[in-house]
Amino acid sequence: MRLSKILTVALLFSAACYKPNYSSDEDLGKAFRCYATDRPACPGSLVCCVGALCGDSLIDPVTGGPVKDNSGNPLEGSCVPPRAPEDLSLTPASYWDFGIKGSYWTGAVNDPLLSGKDPDTGKWRCARKLEPNDMPGEEVGLGSQLPIDPNPTPGTAYEICPDESAPDLPDVDVFKFKLPTPTKVMVRITYKVTYGDLDVALFRMAKDDTGVDRPQRVVADLTAVDNGCLEVPNLPAGGPYYVVVRGTNSPEKPSKYSMNLYNIRVYGVSTPAGDSCTAKKDGGV
């Protein structure tokens, strides 16, 4: 429902002491939808945000109209509490701290054909499905109930590769889930390391000294082999938890990040002795 409609309803009921019981909880899907160009865009002290972009940054400085998405539609935001000022030097690759990588792929790397333009179609090769999904607020939702003991599937296909506007920017993909009960959680990504090493890690949010949420690493797979796997025997209920997949760099080429196609599965396991990262030594999934 658009804000103007809600305000109209609120006015209609104001004679009967109507108290609008609005929510700003994006996670519950209850936040007001908004356009930053509406005046006011949001009730009270709330601000209109799309991912990391808020308020006037959703207004095109040239036209004065709303910033538009790739399809030409005005970006629709959610009314949320004002966010802490962000460190503008912070990139998604530095925001998600994977820890120190100890092993690197040293063999030949095949071109995954994920950057540059296809000579036949002229289109940017990186499909950029569900992008941007690099920071909290942009993530791909996995829901509040992970599948438990699902039948093995190939998983959902994504790709780590940059946008045409910033071809050297490292890409990360972020997925979010919550847990209603403590759960043994598995995360599996499948990829061929010969086309580019990928890493995967699980984070939760913790408040830093200034009370701002920062990602805290729970577990990471930083190996330079085919596929990646995370196993958390008893992840506490709640969340949100964030699964992050990244391309990797190396000490020799710190500014060059790998790209690759991958498939991902995130699921729960009902018995402690059930599925495990170490159970299949052949690297299968």
CB atoms within 10 A of CB 213: 14
Q: Which is nearer to Ca ion, 134 or 231 (CB)?
A: 134
CA gap 135, 150 in Å, rounded: 28
Q: Which of 171, 198, 184 is nearest to 263 (CA)?
A: 198
Name residues contacting Ca ion, limited to 156-215 (CB under 5 A). Answer: 171, 173, 197, 199
- Half-sphere exposure in the Cβ direction for 109 (13 Å, CA): 21
DSSP code per residue over 188-205: EEE--GGG--EEEEEEEE
* Beta carbon of residue 186, minimum distance to Ca ion (angstroms, whole number): 16
* Beta carbon of residue 262, minimum distance to Ca ion (angstroms, whole number): 10
Phi, psi of 266 (to 5 degrees): -130, 125
Distance of alpha carbon 47 from the chain centroid: 21
Q: Please report which helix (H) or strand (E) contains residue 80, including its range.
A: strand 77-80
* Beta carbon of residue 105, minimum distance to Ca ion (angstroms, whole number): 8
Nearby residues of 281 by Cβ (< 8 Å), 6 or more positions away? none
Q: Which is nearer to Ca ion, 46 or 93 (CB)?
A: 93
Q: Which is nearer to Ca ion, 7 or 157 (CB)?
A: 157
- What does DSSP assign to residue 55? G
46, 134, 261, 264: which one binds Ca ion (CB under 5 A): 134
Q: Which is nearer to Ca ion, 35 or 124 (CB)?
A: 124
Number of residues that bind Ca ion (CB under 5 A): 6
* Beta carbon of residue 246, minimum distance to Ca ion (angstroms, whole number): 9
Name residues contacting Ca ion, limited to 97-116 (CB under 5 A). Answer: none
231 binds Ca ion (CB under 5 A): no
Collapsing DSSP states into helix, strand and coil, what is residue 93?
A: helix
* Beta carbon of residue 29, minimum distance to Ca ion (angstroms, whole number): 22
* Beta carbon of residue 229, minimum distance to Ca ion (angstroms, whole number): 10
Residues that bind Ca ion (CB under 5 A): 133-134, 171, 173, 197, 199
